[in-house]
Amino acid sequence: ADEYEARKEEQAGAKLHLLHNATEQTIERLDVTDEKTHDSTLFNTGSWLEDRLVLFDRAYFKYRRFALIDENDGYFVSRLKESANPVVTEELREWRGRAIPLEGEQIHDVVDNLHREYIDVEVEAEFDRRPYGGTQSRDTKRFRVVGVRKEDADDYHLYITNLPREEFLPSDLGTIYRCRWEVELLFRELKTQYELDEFDTTKKHVVEILLYAALLSLLVSRELLDLVTEQADDEIVFPPERWAATFRSHAQLILHELGEYLGYSPPPLLDRLIDDAQKIHQQRPVLQETLATATQPRCES
């Protein structure tokens, strides 16, 4: 608990941060912190964002972060937080009839009164820049907010982005954002298949071994999935979670094949059983030895 401070007392909690490439199905960066470290602090902006699209959940919502992504020629899509209420500066599509005008309104103040198929507006957000020279300045930035009507509901999923309307329609934004579910499936696979959930240990190095073992298992599983997909017929589909369970159930066979390929010859089975099962502490008798010693004089008499 001293190394990995948890939110609750009398336990420890580690948090794993992953930058997941949904297109290539790879992990590009990982960080391990204590449970109290906020997700948002581990995402660093920079030139690496150029021509990349980042999908955020609301834990990473910050106008300054969005501005820096845009200034590094990157792109983002995030759910709009309910506490964020930017002012609409322009409607990006004209609606006929008695449509409610949105310019000058704060988006959450009017969204419940709208019945259009989708919302597509430009908004202006105000935020603090990073302190420099002992002073902190305020700045504004314009972003795009898109509302996509929920299925069988009267309200919207609201997204904030800098993707241009000329290339991405509102319906595209909802489809793109669903790709973020890939990282949720990845963590569920780590927990259910590779036991990255609860570790019964009080040793920091054991926690790290188990954590990296789970990640390495995941990476090997994904590499094998790519190989299997290449070899299989085009019409065959491999659901990721079904594949993960299959990979785990065949792990021992895979290790055996790998050992033979690399030239590692395991000792004969009988030798392995003798080595692994024999008593280690000579001074600590097992039950059978204690019983034999206690009954020996009686048998002799």
Where along the chain do its domains lie?
14-183, 189-265
How confident is the prediction for the chain on average, in pLDDT? 87
Spatial separation of the C-alpha atoms in residues 11 and 33, rounded to whole Å = 15
Average pLDDT over residues 107-133: 89
Average pLDDT over residues 82-95: 88
18-68 pLDDT, tens digit per residue, is 898 888 878 888 999 999 998 888 899 999 999 999 999 998 999 999 999
Average pLDDT over residues 164-168: 93
Spatial separation of the C-alpha atoms in residues 210 and 218, rounded to whole Å = 12
Q: Are 203 and 211 in contact (CB under 8 A)?
A: no
For 177, phi then psi, to 5°, come to -65, -25
The model's confidence at residue 175, banded by pLDDT at 50, 70 and 90, is: very high
The model's confidence at residue 114, banded by pLDDT at 50, 70 and 90, is: confident
The model's confidence at residue 95, banded by pLDDT at 50, 70 and 90, is: confident
